[in-house]
Structure 1
Amino acid sequence: MADPSPIDIQKALGGMDYPASKEDLVRHAEGKSAEDSVLETLKNLPDREYDSPTDVNKEASK
């Protein structure tokens, strides 16, 4: 499965309030019916608080 683009991730997280935990990010994306690849990427993020969409994308691209 191809990694989702940063744009796909941000679409799934649109309207998210930061800071947010990994669990918050996954729940929000699930609520927006995000693609499986986006959900998989979010579920594989380190378990910590994220301060911004940029913070999420930096971690997801590692």
Structure 2
Amino acid sequence: MTDADERRVSKALQGLEFPADKADLIRYAEDGEADPRTLRALRALPEGAYQDSGEVERCVPQRPEQAPGR
């Protein structure tokens, strides 16, 4: 994930209360009308609960556009 991707993910999740699971992250970003690239990155996350946006950023694959099934 690039620095620009990290900024997009961080911005899309501003205001979200943590901990949150993958579905919560995606729903929040969709409700906030996040761009398709940000949503693709969030959909590439492993299932699970995330404690903060920093953990989300660390867990997004380096190339989410190439993640299987995305």
Relative to the length of structure 1, the TM-score reads 0.89
Unaligned residue ranges in structure 2 (runs of 5+): 63-70
Q: What is the RMSD of the two structures over their aligned residues, measured on CA atoms?
A: 1.7
Unaligned residue ranges in structure 1 (runs of 5+): none
1:21 is aligned to 2:21: yes
**1-side partners of 2:55 and 2:61: how far apart?**
10
1:61 Cα offset (Å): 4.5
Relative to the length of structure 2, the TM-score reads 0.79
- Deviating above 4 A after TM superposition, structure 1's stretches of 4 or more consecutive aligned residues are none
The number of aligned residues is: 61
Amino acid paired to 1:29:
A
Q: Identical aligned pairs, as a percentage?
A: 32
